[in-house]
Amino acid sequence: MAHEVTLIPGDGTGPELVEATRRVLEATGVEFEWDEQPAGEDIYAEEGTPFPDRTLDSIKRNGIGIKGPTTTPVGSGFRSVNVLLRKELDLFACIRPCKAYEGVRTRFPETDIVIVRENTEDLYAGIEFEEGSEENAKLRHALEELGEHVREDAGISVKPISRFGSERIVEEAFSYAKANGRKKVTAAHKANIMKFSDGLFLEVAREVAKRHEDIEFEDRIIDNLCNQLVSRPEEYDVIVLPNLYGDIVSDLGAGMIGGLGLAPGGNIGTEAAMFEATHGSAPKYKGQNKVNPTALMLSGVLLLRHINEDDAAERMERAIAEVIRKGEKVTYDLKPSRDDPSAVGTSQFADAVIEEMNQ
Ligand code: NAD
């Protein structure tokens, strides 16, 4: 039976990347029934919303989607589609595999890690009090009564980390590790300084780890983790982190494997999962058939694994890796110099992957 999947082309270079990825996913032989839906800047211009209800309804109905990047114009008043998606669907986990494929120029060729980032809590929860505001003054006075002094001219962001949020993200990390043959989960934190937020995250992580004794568990203080990732990346496997550290380490991981054009992602919730590249809409290359579709294609590989099409996922990942290893039919960013005339376009990269899969 065909898998019903919501397909969101997005804007900027999104539609080209999504089309290339859709073709490769279909070439695996897995059957899809695509439910194409709009999101982003273009639909905002037409309908006054970047995220129409019919798009959300489609994802809720299908429980799974793949999405091209969407632009968030600065100062336009429209909210990020990605933030809306995460909130509406409670996509609490962001999974970002960072694997250095042979043929990519990187200083860290041993890298093969999976970052599992909590998506809903922490300093990104949006609980903020502007300097000089009435609410800020109320909060400072309440803190004063509790014996804590905060300077009058301070802006304040609150960092909530709950037992509930920590438990489900660490469980997700262990379940990903098990489903994907991974051996170890590392929890990263700053529990020595933030005892009641990161400290709780660590305490819960240790409790959850006891339920999964077949997978090794360790913890690292976040600064030490960053140091070790760039000196001994081969020692790390699955890394689970609260929201802020997860955001930063995700980009560190993308840099370690050769750039944004190669970093896939999946946002997972209890009711739905949405797969998309880590990078943005790269609007300056819109319509030029130029940018690298690898990150979105590898997000497609994650999608295949999510729907238990492991064999197809394996074949698709191997074909992408082989095209990159050969280094001939690859986009400009994977060539030794960015103006290399032998670079191919987004669509031709997809052709090369399909050709490789059919061999
Ligand atoms: P970006 O990731 O779109 O692009 C930055 C630069 O990285 C590009 O100019 C290009 O040189 C390079 N790059 C990115 N993707 C590439 C690819 N696939 N192949 C080759 N090179 C690539 O970041 P930005 O310019 O900061 O953001 C543009 C827009 O995208 C913003 O509006 C931002 O809010 C949005 N954004 C969306 C998402 C998403 O939809 N998931 C994620 C991040 C940013």
Contact between residue 304 and residue 264 where contact means Cβ atoms under 8 Å apart: no
Q: Express each pLDDT in 133-171 by its tens digit.
A: 999 999 999 999 999 999 999 999 999 999 999 999 999
Q: Express each pLDDT in 298-353 by its tens digit.
A: 999 999 999 999 999 999 999 999 999 999 999 999 998 889 999 999 999 999 99
Q: Express each pLDDT in 271-290 by its tens digit.
A: 999 999 999 999 999 999 99
Show Cβ contacts of residue 151 under 8 Å, excluding neighbours closer than 6 positions.
none
- Work out the average pLDDT over 217-239: 97
Pairwise CA distance, residues 154 & 138, whole Å: 13
Residue 75: pLDDT band (50, 70, 90) is low
Pairwise CA distance, residues 250 & 260, whole Å: 10
Both tokens of residue 128?
């903020």
Question: What counts of helices (H) and strands (E) characterise the chain?
Answer: 12, 12
One-letter amino acid at 178 equals K
Pairwise CA distance, residues 187 & 47, whole Å: 43
Q: Closest Cα to atom 23, ligand 1: which residue?
A: 280
Q: Give the mean pLDDT of the chain.
A: 95
Contact between residue 257 and residue 103 where contact means Cβ atoms under 8 Å apart: no
Q: Express each pLDDT in 79-94 by its tens digit.
A: 788 888 988 999 999 9
| 78 pLDDT above the threshold of 80 | no
Q: Express each pLDDT in 6-16 by its tens digit.
A: 999 999 999 99
pLDDT at 39: 95
Best probe residue, ligand 1, of 117, 119, 250, 281 (max atoms within 8 Å of C-beta): 281
Among 61, 115, 124, residue whose Cα is nearest residue 265: 115
R_g over Cα of the chain? 21
| 113 pLDDT above the threshold of 90 | yes
For residue 325, the CA-to-ligand 1 centroid distance in Å is 24
pLDDT at 62: 97
One-letter amino acid at 111 equals T
pLDDT at 77: 67
pLDDT at 84: 87
Best probe residue, ligand 1, of 279, 284, 292 (max atoms within 8 Å of C-beta): 279
Residues near ligand 1 (Cβ within 6 A): 69-72, 82, 260-261, 276, 279-284, 291-292, 295, 333
For residue 162, the CA-to-ligand 1 centroid distance in Å is 32
190 classed as catalytic: yes
Pairwise CA distance, residues 143 & 148, whole Å: 5
CB neighbours of residue 237 within 10 Å = 18
For residue 281, the CA-to-ligand 1 centroid distance in Å is 5
| pTM to 2 decimal places | 0.93
Burial 92-124 (b: 16+ CB within 10 A, else e): bbbbbbbbbbebbebebbebbbbbbbbbbbbbb
pLDDT at 76: 65
> CA separation (Å) from 56 to 16, 86, 215, 262, 304?
22, 11, 36, 27, 21
pLDDT at 35: 98
